[in-house]
Amino acid sequence: MKAEAGIAAFGVVFFAVAGAIYWFTSYEDAGTTLLAVTAIAYLLLFGYLYLQVRRLRTGIARPEDREDADVSDAIGEIEYFPAASVWPAALGLGVAVLALGLVFGPWFVVVGAIVVVGGIIGYSVEAQARP
């Protein structure tokens, strides 16, 4: 996780600096906002990975994070992976309809929100019913 956290930290710094340079050279709002939101997204990712690194320090480190690790240390049972599901597509459709509501009116927002909530519930129930 240390390598992943480092990459995310680099993304935060890169997009924050790029956004500042972009703002001071162009004074354009849309691109600056996009770069700032990207830096915030990387900051959220970095925060999550940093917390995972701190949590893993008390336990056994992953083979990827150990200097003395061998390739054979990573052999073993693979964690659970969810099966193919329709719920991510339902969530994507709901978010798209919800975004259309920002342009075309509140009825799209209502329909999109219902589809998003249904997708979240369906995905959660399916994830809890894993073998």
- CB atoms inside a 10 Å sphere around CB 20: 14
Give counts: helices (H), strands (E), the chain.
Answer: 4, 0
pLDDT at 125 over 90: no
What is the domain partition of the chain in residue ranges? 2-66, 87-128
- Of residues 51 and 17, the one with the higher pLDDT is 17
Q: What is the pLDDT of residue 128?
A: 75
- Of residues 103 and 2, the one with the higher pLDDT is 103
Query: From the CA atom positions of the chain, what is the Rg in Å?
Result: 21
Question: In the block, which residue shows the tokens 């690790």?
Answer: 69
- Of residues 106 and 14, the one with the higher pLDDT is 14
Q: What is the pLDDT of residue 121?
A: 93
Average confidence score pLDDT of the chain: 86
